């Protein structure tokens, strides 16, 4: 019998550590001179939405898609934000520093998969942020990231949580 390979979400430890990561990260954002302007009007529940989105991407529950509309909705949130590459790079660095601070898994296999998704997703956010706010986004399959899968994959239909 072949052992079941855990999802990245399972390897991370699930909702609790991912929620802690996002909560701690977004506590730091208002004091960061590069990121503070991007998140100046951030809703208090923003970190929870981001945690749910990343959980789904990493193979966890489909709460973000079920509750908020999936990847298309995430794309719409970034329209006309004009995120700079400096802001994207700082977002990445601060998030990974926070992951280290909270002692989330740091093995090379997990971190390379996590960083690959965060790089891909943050670069996509920069691209989408340059689009006008009235851009119509109807189709945007939810990315599903896994171990060593270049470019991840896409989920066409939400799976059951």
143 versus 80: which is more confidently predicted?
143
Is residue 23 pLDDT above 60, yes or no? Answer: yes
3 within a domain of the structure (yes/no) = no
126 within a domain of the structure (yes/no) = yes
102 within a domain of the structure (yes/no) = yes
Radius of gyration of the chain (CA): 15
The number of domains in the chain is 1
Within 10 angstroms of residue 57's Cβ, the number of other Cβ atoms is 24
Choice among 42-51, 102-111, 124-133, 143-152 with the minimum mean pLDDT: 143-152
**What pTM, to 2 d.p., does this model score?**
0.87
CA 18 to chain centre: 10
Residue 22 belongs to domain spanning: 8-148
CATH number at residue 55: 1.10.490.10
138 versus 117: which is more confidently predicted?
117
115 within a domain of the structure (yes/no) = yes
1 within a domain of the structure (yes/no) = no
pLDDT tens-place string over residues 129-159: 998 888 888 878 889 999 975 555 555 444 4
Rounded to an integer, what distance in angstroms lies between the CA atom of residue 92 and that of residue 117?
Answer: 11
161 within a domain of the structure (yes/no) = no
18 within a domain of the structure (yes/no) = yes
54 within a domain of the structure (yes/no) = yes
């Amino acid at each position: 019998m072949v052992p079941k390979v855990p999802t990245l979400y399972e390897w991370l430890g699930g909702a609790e550590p991912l929620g802690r990561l996002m909560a701690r990260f977004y506590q730091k954002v208002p004091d960061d001179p590069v990121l503070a302007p991007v998140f100046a009007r951030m809703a208090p529940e923003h970190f929870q939405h981001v945690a749910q989105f990343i959980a789904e991407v990493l193979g966890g529950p489909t709460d973000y898609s079920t509750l908020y509309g999936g990847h298309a909705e995430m794309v719409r949130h970034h329209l006309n934000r004009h995120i700079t590459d400096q802001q994207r790079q700082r977002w990445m660095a601060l998030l990974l520093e926070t992951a280290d601070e909270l002692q989330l898994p740091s093995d090379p296999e997990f971190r390379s998969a996590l960083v690959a998704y965060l790089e891909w997703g943050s670069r996509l956010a920069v691209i989408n942020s340059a689009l006008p706010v009235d851009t119509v986004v109807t189709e945007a399959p939810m990315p599903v990231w896994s171990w060593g899968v270049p470019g991840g994959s896409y989920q066409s239909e939400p799976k059951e949580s």
